[in-house]
Amino acid sequence: MTAPSHRTTAPQQDPPSRLYTPAEAADILTVRESWLRRQAGQRRIPCTFLGKHLRFSDADIQQIIAAGSRPTSGRRRTRRR
């Protein structure tokens, strides 16, 4: 009889997250690139600096979207005359 072989496999890793340039991220978010760069430079939005190069991950973009979302307010206010 031969002993059963037990193979261990390495856990599967998720593919690396893509990093977007400021121009690509601005296009995805439909904002001006200058606004995105200014906000990132002031550390108001999540971003990644690779040396002096500014990049945005998928997670960064999702956080920017989530931070900008507002709940609906229900009825619209009407002006009094």
What number of other Cβ atoms are within 10 A of residue 29's Cβ? 18
Closest alpha carbon to 26 in 75, 61, 78: 61
How do the pLDDT tens digits run along the chain, 81 residues long? 555 555 556 566 666 679 999 999 999 999 999 999 999 999 999 999 999 999 999 999 999 999 988 877 766 667 776
Q: Which amino acid is at 12?
A: Q
Question: Which residues, including other chains, have CB under 8 Å from residue 55's CB and lie 6 or more apart?
Answer: 19, 20, 21, 22, 47, 48, 49
Sketch the domain layout of the chain as residue ranges.
Answer: 19-67
What number of other Cβ atoms are within 10 A of residue 28's Cβ? 14
Tokens of 45: 């939005």
